[in-house]
Structure 1
């Protein structure tokens, strides 16, 4: 009797592909696996695949033929050329209606291109954001699929089975057409950059200004994780401060070189925001902070030459200072998410994706790196008003920001006076103040542009005149 065909195929057996394949199999599905290195397939089948519902294949043809129609094939390979190469390997053996799913961190423009080209050949292409890292892939990620809705319906039983589960369902939903899923994942990663930088700045303040030790920092972040800041990142931060290096008996975090890298999705978020005209200063500040951190040698040399503030700011009580930083962190976090959600809203209109921001917030509540209690409040905000222009306008968030303002401004002031860089917190506060200001100083900017370049401007007292130009030198007295 012929072997039963696999329910789905997995290409790429590095950590993410291997873990996601195991997750799918554990939830009752048979998985065909292929890797461009046949030895990796043999290794997988001999270890994690032994005695389980996996079908190993050494060639693209054998792999495709091992999967039930319409075939569902997941790619977890490097973004870019490797993805196109992999699609080219399997395409000769596919049939109309088969579904290719790209689970890598692909640039959404590439996903739009691939979806259009494959659709013209009769195939379905789903660009699916996968968040949660290695553990999420194995035990339940947040999944953000974009493509043809009927193709997703074919995939939905598997995706709902393997996704993380929260109080209001599995952390997966149909995002929208073509590149919507990968765009949402990109913005998720941009928000993640902002979150991580804001937490790093809170740590820097508490350590350098508040003089908290690693055990004290662990206790503070553990306490914060019991309240409005409850999140995966706050939780692991508390655990990081408790990790002791066995060789030196020092907190391991203090032995780590202060140079952070980036894989591209943060930069893509910044570039997309610029293209769409959406301000994301907190996310941009986080990217800049990582770039500055990479200039380690230059910074060390500069520290020997450039002098900081001559005096230290007057410090409040330690407990009061911890609360000030807590409030500043939460207020800044709200601004970071407000920027990310504004990006999603703008892209939804630009690409006709019809994104459901409340539902996107819901699927980020579990599985993904930015999972947090806070996301349920965002979901509720968009349920109250689906077309909410900005989170800062939601009554609940508006009230919290009003209550946190004094703490927030105090913390940014203390950081400035102490010479502690707070790029993301400062950017968040500037975003908040700019958004709430009815008249900004760009009237002068427009005057300058018209003065030196005849770029024209609009008058507030004559809106019917449209754009006008002035010969400025003729008016100077």
Structure 2
């Protein structure tokens, strides 16, 4: 364990940007025996951290950029915890001139991975390592042990990795931290993590809505259902906290907490980035996309007002005996849809790794997501095992165990989606997951007709099923002759 100390050149790590996440990561490092240099644009925040938590370890408070850099031992390691975008560039521009070749700047914010690639290339020219690092777990995870996804060079990980592994969450003695890959790989994987998180949350919300509006359960009863589910294959952090939220009663009104919260979901942008990037990669992340769109739709009050009151079916709560069976069907639909959402995310990581030449270890991603992060779940152990047995796994459903579970759940899954449609209860993520499953298992798709349409109006050509080559039909000419393109 590194020795504690204070003064010039004694800090093993420095943290600049001491809002909640930066403060808690600094405390986490200090709790693990590292001497931590502190810096914040507002010096009062630095002083407050030392006053409140100085007993937890060795801190070196500084007020200027020069003093902050001087407090760090070589190679210097600076963790930047500021708002993504221009503020991050401003901090880099402030500190980079004070650094020397071999020093390391770590960006622990939710930066776009293309920004990280740009910054890494620019600083590499000066001999400075730039490590875009995904950190998941919220403020509690930052303090107690997050899941950490560092990118950057292999050389920078030799210096930084042991420290990040020390403060990360641990599962079965393994740190929830690994070197993801070069330049922007870490922030890319964190972005996809957040996209999966959007999907997971939307699927859970749809399950709640169906249990309440169709099953006739109260929020308190649904909380108990979720607690039961959390003892089985759906065991996860998000299911756990969902039960807590649903069981909570508003102290002012005495109503269920979920009934006094405005039904407009906000977002920070990482889910939207996931969908935009998936479009660039050609990856159909339909469940993630529907989760992002559902949040967007919830905020369009003008549109919702225009549609409200239009004719359509109304959900009628079931009898108790039927609702018990329906709850079991919803559990199966939720699990199957969740597997599809994760599968879409894993395929996106595979394709991003290929396009950007990152060589990301899919199994390692599953291992570091087992603890600390928001989407941590028991079935990530099984995903990790699946990739350990077959590192080139093209899809989770290529694993026999996952395939059996999803196909075994499909009768209940289809019934839930049909019931939702018949009852007028929106279930866009459940529906998208099922449609994705049916699309990929189909022997033949109507894409053939789409390609024919494209050839008709734009001469975009097509391939035939019976012989190789590229063809175009002369649609405007008599006889509509077919010509093979050279």
Same fold (TM over 0.5): yes
Q: Which bracket does the TM-score occupy, shorter chain normalised? A: over 0.9
Alpha-carbon contact 2:39-2:63 (below 8 Å) kept: yes
Q: RMSD of the alignment, in Å?
A: 1.7
> Is 1:186–2:191 an aligned residue pair?
yes
The more displaced of 326-335 and 385-394 is 385-394
Q: Give the distance between the partners of 2:164 and 2:426, measured in 1 at CA.
A: 42
Alignment deviations for residues 248-275 of structure 1 (CA, whole Å, 9 cap, x no partner): 1111111100001111100110011000
> Is 1:143–2:148 an aligned residue pair?
yes
The more displaced of 225-234 and 294-303 is 294-303
1:47 is paired with a residue of what secondary structure? helix
5+ residue gaps, structure 1: none
Q: Give the distance between the partners of 2:476 and 2:263, measured in 1 at CA.
A: 50
Alignment deviations for residues 91-113 of structure 1 (CA, whole Å, 9 cap, x no partner): 12111100000000000001111
Q: Give the distance between the partners of 1:375 and 1:317, measured in 2 at CA.
A: 32
Alpha-carbon contact 2:15-2:22 (below 8 Å) kept: yes
Alpha-carbon contact 2:370-2:380 (below 8 Å) kept: yes
2:54 is paired with a residue of what secondary structure? coil
Alpha-carbon contact 1:15-1:134 (below 8 Å) kept: yes
Q: Give the distance between the partners of 1:404 and 1:132, measured in 2 at CA.
A: 30
> Is 1:200–2:200 an aligned residue pair?
no
Deviation of residue 440 (structure 1)? 0.2
Deviation of residue 201 (structure 1)? 0.2
Residue in 2 that maps onto 1:128: 133
How many correspondences in the alignment?
Answer: 474
Residue in 1 that maps onto 2:43: 38
Q: How does 1:197-346 map to 2 (within 5 A)?
A: 197-304=202-309, 306-309=310-313, 317-346=322-351
1:144 is paired with a residue of what secondary structure? strand
Q: Give the distance between the partners of 2:71 and 2:179, measured in 1 at CA.
A: 27
Query: Equivalent of 2:386, from 381, 387, 396?
Result: 381
> Is 1:105–2:110 an aligned residue pair?
yes
Deviation of residue 438 (structure 1)? 1.9
Q: Give the distance between the partners of 2:149 and 2:155, measured in 1 at CA.
A: 15
TM-score (norm 1): 0.96
Q: Give the distance between the partners of 2:369 and 2:148, measured in 1 at CA.
A: 9
Deviation of residue 49 (structure 1)? 2.7
Alpha-carbon contact 2:461-2:470 (below 8 Å) kept: no
Alpha-carbon contact 1:258-1:296 (below 8 Å) kept: no
1:129 is paired with a residue of what secondary structure? strand
TM-score (norm 2): 0.95
> Is 1:466–2:459 an aligned residue pair?
no
Task: Flag the 1:44–1:263 CA change in 2: closer, same or farther, 3 A.
Answer: same
Q: Give the distance between the partners of 1:357 and 1:185, measured in 2 at CA.
A: 13
Task: Flag the 1:28–1:2 CA change in 2: closer, same or farther, 3 A.
Answer: closer
